[in-house]
Every structure is written in C-alpha cells, then in structure tokens.
Structure 1
Amino acid sequence: MIGKPFFDNMVDTLTHRILVTGASGFVGSALLQLLEREHVGWEVFVLGHGEGRRNLIDLRDREAIDDAVREVHPTALVHLAAVAAPSDARNDPRHAWDVNVTGTMNLAESVMRHAPEARFVYVGSSEAYGASFQSATGPVTENTPLRPVDVYGATKAAADLMIGQMSYDGLRAIRFRPFNHTGPGQADTYVVSDFARQVAEILSGKREPVIHVGNLEAERDFLDVRDVVRAYAIAAIQDSKTGPDCVYNIASGRPRRIRDILDMLISQSGIEIEVRADPKRLRPNEIPVACGDASKAHEKLKWTPLVPFEQTIADVLDYWRRICSAR
C-alpha cells in the first residue's frame, strides 16, 4: 500500500502523536492497520475503541473529550467517529445531528484549547453535495455547492462548514469529502459488502442462488478503503498547508453503475445467480450519478488511488467467504 517514499516526505516523524476517533469502525480499523504496519516511530492513540487502548468516549461529553485531548496532546487528530450509515441517520435524526455536528464541535474546540498546533483532519462525505450532483456535467470539484438531500448528508455538510469556519479562528484543519469506499471488513449495510455477503452465502450453500437488490442503475464513484485512509495518514503526518482552503475530494473520478459491480461479483463467483428487485432496498432521494474530481488532492497531497477496483471486489468477496465458512 504505502512504500517508504511516502514516509520520506514526512517531517519529524518521531514526534507525531496521532489521535484517532472512531478507531473501532471499518475505516478507523483500516487507518490503524496502515499506521501500525508502516510504523516509523510515531504514537497512535484512539477514542471510541474499547479493546485495551482506551474506553469508549461519547463525543457529546465535552468534559471527557477535554480530558482525553489534554492527556494525549496530539500533533494530529483524525476525526472518523460518526453516525455513518445513512439509514441510521434517517431513523434517528436527532442522534445523528448530536454526534456528527455537536460531537465534532466538541473535538475541534478541545483541540483549539489544549493542542492548538495539532492538525485537525475532518472526514466528511461526498453526500454533502447532494442535489448538486443532479446538475453536474462531470465530476464535481470542491467548489461545488453543498446541497444535501438526506439527514446524513446534511449533518456532514453542516460539520464540514463549521470546521471551515473554525479554520478562520485558528483551527489547523484539513477537510476531506470522500466518495463511496469499500473493502474487506465493511458492514453489509453498504451495497458492495451486501452483495458480496449474499454471493458468499450462496457459494457456501446457506441460501438459494438468488440475490435481492435495490436500484441497480445508480452510478457511484468507488474507492478501496485502503487508498482512502492513505489520504488521511498523509494529511495527519505530512507538513502540508492547513486552513479554510484545505478541503479535498477523495475520489476515483470514474462513476460505476451498481449493476456492473453486481455483475463483477457474480462473475467472480463462477456460478449462475438470479437477481431479484426488492422495493425495501430502495433509498429515498436517490441521486442518479455521483462522481468526484480529486485533482486537488493529487496536486497538493500527492495522493492517488492505487488499488485496482477488481482487486477490491475480490478481497471483499474473499472476506465474506471466510466469514461464511466460519459460521
């Protein structure tokens, strides 16, 4: 994934103290694996991870957040913790707003108080662009208006704008708007992992050779999670610019039709599988096409996706086949 040339551009690597929120989640786990595998002397601390590193801290608890930031005194904070599934945000909007916006404010304010020199890496979402995708004639840039159409997108857009404003007050922020990403270990509430799980269950004989699907005509810009977290690591460690203008799409620039992704998984299975539409799987306010322009990240952060999408699909399917065989 990341070779030594990546670290050759880092400054004072032995002094980095990286605090990660949401470390027990899908993306957080991938980031920890990357940082630990490519370790060159920095320390990594986590919030929201209960396996011997640090007890779970509620982002809405300002005092607990203050204590943690004061104790760690990070040189960088990567903020991943969130109500991340759009369905969860839709089912409990107030909780999503409390965690995704108020929780983010608590962290940012604490960093400004207790670690003002730290880089604040905020991970937003391309869902913040929302309705702007409908009028786009190609991949959207960071200058595209934020016009969210669902609760999740609205909370991420609000926190994104809030962090941008706080940058004018001195927060050393870098904001990301990642597009769809997947990989081994992702929950089956997301489309690629959902399809892969169903295929794996069919291959293991646990279900009939039928896959149940929602809208297959939507087109999305997909990345491998291992490429995505590499961008976050660069932002946390590299001595690059921070501030209001440091907002980056993380995208491939290529929209993929959901139907084509399903066809890839079925092809990799090597068997015939029937596809059945399930109205319960349809999302409200579905955007037909969403695709991002990541040229700014390429130029400023020297980031580019490396993992072929076919490899990503194969790895997700292999992951679910292992899970099914162990059950």
Structure 2
Amino acid sequence: MPAALVTGATGQDGYYLCQGLAAAGLEVHAVVRPSDDGTQDPGLDDLRAVVPGLVEHEADLGDADALSAVVAEVAPTEVYNLGGISSVAQSWAQPVATGLVSGLAVGVLLDAAWQLQERTGRQVRFVQASSAEIFGEAPTSPQDERTPVRPRSPYGAAKAYGHHMVGVYRARGLHASAVVLYNHESPRRPEAFVTRKITRGAARIAAGLDSTLTLGSLDVRRDWGWAPDYVEAMVAAVRADVPDDYVIATGVAHTVEDFVRAAFARAGIDDWAAHVRTDPAFVRPAEASLQVGDSTHAREVLGWQPTKGFTDVVDAMVDHDLALLAAVGRRP
C-alpha cells in the first residue's frame, strides 16, 4: 500500500487532506508534535475519527534529526508539508521560531525525501504548502507564478525560504511542487484567525451572548476560498506528471468588511456596523493591503477550479458556529 507522510496533519488543511488520502486507499502517516506536559494536540482525536489506521509519529519540526528519521522510517511515496506556524500575527511575536519550523524544516524534509529517493531508486513526490504571503506588497495584481517573491512578515519570509528550496530540489531531480495558497477557510478554521473570529462573533451576537465584535482594519483585501478545494490542489500537484509551482486562488478579492457584512447577514443581523468596533492593536505591522491570485496555470495544467464562492464559504462557517451554539443550548 502506498504511504503518504503529512506534517501539520491536525490543522484545518491537514484534516481534509488526510481524510481524502485515506479514502483514496493510501496509508496515512501524520507527524505529531511531541508534548512535554502530556497534553494532546486538540485536533488529533478529530483526525483519528476520520482516518482509520492513522499512523502517528512524534517529531518536532525544529528537530532536523527527528524529521529525517521519520521520512527514512516511513519511506513514503508522497510527502505533504503543511506544518509550521500558521499565523502571520504569531510570526511577529515569534520570528525565530517561525523561521525554524516554517522555513528551515522545509529544507530538512526536502533533503530527506531526496535521500530516500537516491537510496531506494524509487520516486518520492513532495508538495510544499506555500503562501500568498511570499509576495508581500506585490507590484502587480493579480499575482501569479511570475510575481516577485518579496515577503513583508516573518511568516512570509519563512515561507519564501521554503518556496525557493522546493525549486532547488526540483532542479536536483525531486518531484517537488509548491502550491501558493491564498486565504482559504472552512468551519475547521481555528478561532484565533480573523475569519473564524468574525463568524463566531456574528453567531454569538445573534444568540444574544455578546453585543460587540472588535477587529483590526476592515479595509484589508484578501482572496478567500474554500479549504477542501485547496487541499484538492495539493493532491493534484503531487500527482501531476511534471512538478511545478501553482498559485491556488479564486481570483476575486473582498475586504474584511465584506466578510463581516456577509457573516452578520447570514446570522440574521442587518445592522452589522452597530456591533463592530475597530482597534489599532489588532492591526499587524507591514500588512499587505491587497492579495488576489491568478490560478490560470493550476486550472490549465491540474484541471483545478474552486467549487464554492465567497458567500458560500462565509455561510458555511456561520452555519457551523450557529449550530455549535444550538448544540450547547447557547451557553457561552
């Protein structure tokens, strides 16, 4: 049975990816972060529930020897690197850690995959979950695979290193691809992210549990898609005949205000402005104001296309948060 090794398996994308790989008949191996205090990653039980036979390997992304050992032990046919610090805001608070686990770890995994391929004579395929943050304040819009890589955050800089390393190892003979993922959401998005903060806030206000929602800038524009669609792009990139880089995006940008308006409307609140406050403390340093991607290359080569539009994504998230409140009797 072919084996797939996935880092970041307990995150939003990892959940959908591992579920899909298992359904396709692959043996799924997940790299799980070790715990010093005995506590378990909160997403692990959910992952186990949808991936029968999940094989777990404890390894810190900052431990190069441990990561290399896992790749050698599993000997996967496919490696999906989704792991790392997933929040731009967190990367400003932890820039060194971000560089280590979201940047240098990519090089470790690529080299381990290449070494495995050299040792066995069997092709190993690798995909890196890159990010639109590598483009920073891009000089042109929409951005595509030819857009200059000029990150403006520690998160973007770490992702840029990983993105370039994919190209290095691709030139060395590894089937290595990078999918440059624009913002993508689902009900599995953690509450620390602004999109989930908005949908949860709208649900709680609609339920009478809160009266206000405090956010940063409402003018920031992003290209928001549906997370399961973006996971499909990762699999398509791994299975493609020729490795390459692919921008994965809807091609349509919306402001945070658009997201707020849509979320409150779905929750049944017409006057969203009466409930939303802004606070400069929530504004990131060096925020890229506009990110919108051109996924023509992925659509033509991989046959990829999004299945949900912006409003559909927001509606699904709000419905989920309303259902969660209903399930617990609308208690906080």
- Specify the code of the residue in structure 2 equivalent to 1:44: V
- Using the alignment, how far apart are the partners of 1:287 and 1:40 within structure 2? 38
Q: Which runs of 5+ in 2 are unaligned?
A: 34-43, 49-54
Question: Match for residue 304 of structure 1?
Answer: 305
> Is residue 82 from structure 1 mapped to residue 84 from structure 2 by the alignment?
yes
TM-score by length of 1: 0.88
> Is residue 162 from structure 1 mapped to residue 165 from structure 2 by the alignment?
yes
* Aligned-residue identity in percent: 29
- Using the alignment, how far apart are the partners of 1:181 and 1:108 within structure 2? 25
- Using the alignment, how far apart are the partners of 2:160 and 2:169 within structure 1? 14
- Specify the code of the residue in structure 1 equivalent to 2:156: G
Q: Which runs of 4+ in 1 moved over 6 A?
A: none
Query: Residues 10-52 of structure 1, C-alpha deviation per residue, up to 9 Å, x if partnerless?
Result: xxxxx5321111101111112122333xx23322221127557
- Which of 220, 223, 234 is equivalent to 1:218? 220
- Which of 31, 35, 51 is equivalent to 2:21? 35
SS at match of 1:124: strand
- Using the alignment, how far apart are the partners of 2:215 and 2:253 within structure 1? 19
- Using the alignment, how far apart are the partners of 2:281 and 2:240 within structure 1? 47
- Using the alignment, how far apart are the partners of 2:158 and 2:69 within structure 1? 25
SS at match of 1:212: strand
1:75–1:115: 8 Å Cα contact kept in structure 2?
no
- Which of 129, 132, 135 is equivalent to 2:135? 129
- Which of 263, 275, 296 is equivalent to 1:265? 263
- Using the alignment, how far apart are the partners of 2:126 and 2:106 within structure 1? 11
Task: Give the C-alpha shift of residue 262 in structure 1.
Answer: 0.9
Task: Give the C-alpha shift of residue 248 in structure 1.
Answer: 0.6
Note closer, same or farther for the CA distance 1:307–1:32 as it changes in structure 2 (3 Å cut). Answer: same
Task: Give the C-alpha shift of residue 124 in structure 1.
Answer: 0.8
Note closer, same or farther for the CA distance 1:66–1:286 as it changes in structure 2 (3 Å cut). Answer: closer
SS at match of 2:156: helix
Q: Which has the higher contact order (CA 8 A, sep 6+)?
A: 1
2:133–2:155: 8 Å Cα contact kept in structure 1?
yes
- Specify the code of the residue in structure 1 equivalent to 2:189: Q
Query: Residues 44-82 of structure 1, C-alpha deviation per residue, up to 9 Å, x if partnerless?
Result: 221127557314311222332222112221111010001
- Using the alignment, how far apart are the partners of 1:240 and 1:316 within structure 2? 35
Question: Match for residue 231 of structure 2?
Answer: 229
TM-score by length of 2: 0.86
- Using the alignment, how far apart are the partners of 1:207 and 1:295 within structure 2? 42
- Using the alignment, how far apart are the partners of 2:81 and 2:293 within structure 1? 21
SS at match of 1:77: strand
SS at match of 1:290: coil
Supply the RMSD in Å over aligned alpha carbons: 1.7
Question: Match for residue 323 of structure 1?
Answer: 324
Question: Match for residue 153 of structure 2?
Answer: 150
Question: Match for residue 7 of structure 1?
Answer: none
Q: How many residues align?
A: 303
Task: Give the C-alpha shift of residue 211 in structure 1.
Answer: 2.1
Question: Match for residue 279 of structure 2?
Answer: 278
- Using the alignment, how far apart are the partners of 2:306 and 2:81 within structure 1? 21
Task: Give the C-alpha shift of residue 156 in structure 1.
Answer: 0.4
> Is residue 47 from structure 1 mapped to residue 16 from structure 2 by the alignment?
no
- Using the alignment, how far apart are the partners of 2:237 and 2:29 within structure 1? 16
- Specify the code of the residue in structure 2 equivalent to 1:163: V
Task: Give the C-alpha shift of residue 239 in structure 1.
Answer: 4.3
Question: Match for residue 290 of structure 1?
Answer: 291
Question: Match for residue 2 of structure 2?
Answer: 16
Q: Which runs of 5+ in 1 are unaligned?
A: 1-14
- Using the alignment, how far apart are the partners of 1:100 and 1:287 within structure 2? 19
- Which of 201, 204, 210 is equivalent to 2:204? 201
Note closer, same or farther for the CA distance 1:296–1:239 as it changes in structure 2 (3 Å cut). Answer: closer
